[in-house]
Amino acid sequence: MRNTVQKIVQKAGNDRGRLMDILLEIQAELGYVSGEVTDQLAEELGISRVDVEQTLSFYHFFRQEPRGEYTVYLNNSLVANMMGRVEVAAAFEKEAGCKFGSVTEDGRIGLFETADIGMNDQEPAALINGKVFTNLTPLVVRELVSGMRNGKKVEDMIRNYGDGKNGSDLVRAMVHNNIKQKGSVLFSAYSPGEGLTKALQMSPEKVISEVKDSYLRGRGGAGFPTGLKWEFCRRANKEVSYVFCNADEGEPGTFKERVLLTEYPHLIFEGMAISGYAIGAKHGVLYLRNEYDYLKAYLESVLEEMHEKKLLGDRILDTEEFGFDIRIQMGAGAYVCGEESALLESSEGKRGEPRNRPPFPVEKGYMDHPTIINNAETLCNVVKILKNGSEWYTMLGSQESAGTKLISVSGDCKYPGVYEVEWGIRVKDILDLAGASNIQAVQVGGPSAECIGPADFNRTISFEDLPTGGSFIIIGNKRDLIGDVVTNFLDFFIEESCGSCTVCRTMPTILKNKIAKILTGHGVQQDLEDLQDWGSKMKMANRCGLGQTAANPVLSTLKNFREKYEGLIRKDVDFDSGFDLASAVVDSCEHVGRTPNL
């Protein structure tokens, strides 16, 4: 064991900056990172044990204790629940003989939950030893568990492979792409190198101005003008700079990057090379969320292929002056790492805590070098803009939002999947495309954005109206909006907060308790005022986008569905402590065999 660890550390050049890779590899070899291994790592890397532990304990998929020969991570997101996760979870527990959060006595099967694995269009889904299992039913679960009992290989438990590259040798996943609508930008004809060839015929400054003229804005959710970001970074004018591609889509309900990574990885990598040329960077890093580990080998083969075709490497397209390479950095399970500065921290082997700004990453990013971080979808757009020109691009979309957008549609509808639409499309039109009816609400942009009702279905998907990173969750009439939706989203934010800022660490729990009070019939008018007032502090007093928006599930439903809250509270009193004597004494009365005398 000591040798294994030593070899892994040496392979990473004894570099504490590569702690993520080191821990992931140790886990792949040894199953988990024991206390003994943690001590050894501290020693070999010349850091304190607690420094190793702080990274190790931050990420969801790192294990400090054995989690079974077969480790099941069942997705617990809202849409999974809608599609029957509860029955599937019960089946896992019954068949395996252990509860979620534990491992069977023989150490064979571990059952755990995880938040959103990017499979909302084929839920319930789970990761088993890194492999994706979709559309689970209790019957399938029984088969899976029996396979585990018989020592079957996980890859042999996959019965059918999905469409497109999902069925290729290096992927072999049962995931389906579910591309439901192709548009003229992303899901359109493409042959690798087209954009890059055009770019290299221009000066880097011209490439930046072309991207600026296209009015392309970041597709991860924040919508920062891409060309401007590049210009800032180029202006930093340092010897070394970096291009990062953010492929850490963790917002519940998005899965469009999964499809891009599966079907259009060349496009992403080419976009990275173009941006590298524009800002003067020689190195690119693709930060890939751990949930998409099943795509890693395939993505690496694409990188190799692009090297062979001179689309990457020392002398791209045989030019003297431009070389660019890309490595893949794996995440280990943390929603907050989708925030660009947290993503950099993570890539440096640390906890994924967002940084204070200024300085911005374009001045001081990865290892303190100027860095741009672009979303995978943004980079795909870049290639097409270079190929067809910014004028062509601005013809598409709406007033303030040029181009097209990938929307990940899931929830209560007939056709969940990825739709490429022009910005400016009405919510209603997407609902029609998806075959949705009897709709109560749509969560546009995921839990961190807005929950709207039918009165708003004429609004448009655009930066000027309803911006979205791509998540579009349809919530049918039969769902319990507060009990199921809001509560699930709050749980998500409680789980995913890095904990650094006081308010983000504390407030979601306070809000959740307040909602629980209302749901158990103890709510009064004041509680609604409190939810509003307390929730609004999140925006004021947190460092990053996660914290600032984590109260949105409450705030946006309070705004758009106030009647649902009003219907739950007591109108007969102004105050209810929330304390219920009868339920408080149930356990003690049962214990002593007495009936409560209230």
Least distance to other proteins, CB of residue 34, Å: 16
Binding range to other proteins, per CB under 8 A, among 103-111, 128-136, 371-379, 491-499: 491-499
- Least distance (Å) between residue 51 CB and other proteins: 6
* CB of residue 71 to other proteins, shortest distance in Å: 19
Q: Does 57 bind other proteins (CB under 8 A)?
A: yes
User: 456 vs 530, which CB is nearer to other proteins?
Assistant: 530
Please work out the total of residues on this chain that contact other proteins, with binding judged by CB under 8 A. 39
Q: How many residues in total does the chain contain?
A: 598
Which phi and psi angles does 473 have, rounded to 5°?
A: -105, 125
Kindly indicate which of the ranges 106-114, 182-190, 375-383, 492-500 contains the residues binding other proteins, using the contact rule CB under 8 A: 492-500
Report the DSSP pairing between strands 70-75 and 126-128: antiparallel
Which of positions 315-334 make contact with other proteins (CB under 8 A)? 334
Q: Quick one: which H or E segment has residue 111?
A: strand 109-114
Sequence letter at residue 489: F
Shorter beta-carbon distance to other proteins: residue 455 or 540: 540
Residue 525 interacting with other proteins (CB under 8 A): no
Q: Which of 14, 188, 319, 513 binds other proteins (CB under 8 A)?
A: 513
The residue whose two tokens read 């300085």 is 359
16 binds other proteins (CB under 8 A): no
Query: Binding of other proteins at residue 497 (CB under 8 A)?
Result: yes
Is residue 496 part of the contact set for other proteins (CB under 8 A)?
yes
- Closest approach of Cβ 237 to other proteins, in Å? 20
Contact 496, 335 (CB under 8 A): yes
Among 53, 87, 400, 429, binds other proteins (CB under 8 A): 53
Select 256 or 512, whichever has its Cβ closest to other proteins: 512
Q: Is 61 in the site for other proteins (CB under 8 A)?
A: no
Of 228 and 516, the one with the shorter C-beta distance to other proteins is 516
What is the rounded CA–CA span in Å between residue 321 and residue 299? 26
Question: Per CB under 8 A, which of residues 110..139 are in contact with other proteins?
Answer: none
Q: Which stretch binds other proteins (CB under 8 A): 277-285, 408-416, 435-443, 489-497?
A: 489-497
Instruction: Give the H or E element holding residue 73.
Output: strand 70-75
Angle separating helix axes 525-540 and 502-519, nearest 10 degrees: 160
50 counts as binding other proteins under rule CB under 8 A: yes
Q: What phi and psi values does residue 558 have, to the nearest 5 degrees? A: -60, -40
The DSSP letter of residue 360 is P
State which of residues 541, 560, 570, 585 lies at the interface with other proteins (CB under 8 A): 541
Burial of 344 (0-12, 13-18, 19+ CB in 10 A): buried
Measured distance CA(383)–CA(277) in Å, rounded: 12
Confirm or reject binding of residue 499 to other proteins (CB under 8 A): yes
The smaller minimum CB distance to other proteins, of residues 95 and 348, is found at 348
As a whole number of angstroms, the distance between CA 106 and CA 182 comes to 49
What DSSP element (H or E) covers 494? helix 487-496
Smallest separation, CB 552 to other proteins (Å): 17
Q: Does 506 contact other proteins by CB under 8 A?
A: yes
DSSP state, residue 481 = I
Nearest residue (CB) to other proteins, 47 versus 396: 47
- E strand spans, 294-352: 325-330
Buried residues in 233-268 as b, exposed as e (16+ CB within 10 A): bbebeeeebbbbbbbbbbbbbbbbbbbbbbbbbbbb
Of the candidate residues 30, 47, 170, 240, the single one contacting other proteins (CB under 8 A): 47
| Residue 494 binding other proteins, by CB under 8 A | yes
Half-sphere exposure of 77 (CA within 13 A, CB side): 27
DSSP assignment of 404-461 equals EEEEEEEESSS--EEEEEETT-BHHHHHHHTT--SEEEEEETSTTSEEE-GGGTTSBB
Q: Which is nearer to other proteins, 172 or 505 (CB)?
A: 505
**Which window, 87-95, 442-450, 488-496, 562-570, contacts other proteins (CB under 8 A)?**
488-496
Q: How far is the CB of 103 from other proteins (least distance, A)?
A: 20
Instruction: Select the residue interacting with other proteins from 543, 545, 554, 555 (CB under 8 A).
Output: 543
Part in contact with other proteins (CB under 8 A); list of ranges 73-81, 82-90, 340-348, 534-542:
534-542
* Binding residue (CB under 8 A) for other proteins from 17, 31, 32, 51: 51
The reply on whether position 507 binds other proteins by CB under 8 A is yes
Q: How far is the CB of 478 from other proteins (least distance, A)?
A: 31
Give the torsion sign (CA, 519, 119, 466, 464).
positive
Asked if residue 498 binds other proteins (CB under 8 A), the reply is yes
Among 510, 519, 585, 589, binds other proteins (CB under 8 A): 510
Task: Say how far apart CA 169 and CA 508 lie, in whole Å.
Answer: 44
Count how many Cα atoms sit within 13 Å of the Cα of residue 587 in the half-sphere of its side chain: 1
Binder among 27, 120, 542, 556 for other proteins (CB under 8 A) = 542
Please tell me whether residue 501 binds other proteins under the rule CB under 8 A. Answer: yes
Q: Prior bond to 447 cis, omega within 30?
A: no
573 scored as a contact of other proteins (CB under 8 A): no
Binding of other proteins by 551 (CB under 8 A) = no
Q: Which of 358, 572, 591, 592 binds other proteins (CB under 8 A)?
A: 358
CA-based Rg of the chain, rounded to a whole angstrom? Answer: 25
Among 2, 99, 182, 537, binds other proteins (CB under 8 A): 537
Give the dihedral of Cα atoms 200, 286, 223, 348; nearest 10 deg.
-120
140 in contact with other proteins (CB under 8 A) = no
Question: From the list 4, 201, 356, 399, which residue makes contact with other proteins (rule: CB under 8 A)?
Answer: 356
Q: Do residues 280 and 149 make contact, with C-beta atoms less than 8 angstroms apart?
A: no
Among 13, 46, 151, 593, binds other proteins (CB under 8 A): 46
| Identity of the residue, 58 or 133, whose beta carbon is nearer to other proteins in the bound complex | 58
* Long-range contacts formed by 443-446: CB under 8 A, 24+ apart: 443/253, 443/411, 443/471, 443/472, 443/473, 443/475, 443/485, 444/468, 444/471, 444/472, 445/221, 445/251, 445/469, 445/470, 445/471, 446/221, 446/251, 446/252, 446/253, 446/254, 446/471, 446/473
Binding site for other proteins (CB under 8 A): 39, 46-51, 53-54, 57-58, 334, 351, 356, 358, 494-503, 505-507, 509-510, 513, 530, 534, 537, 540-543, 578
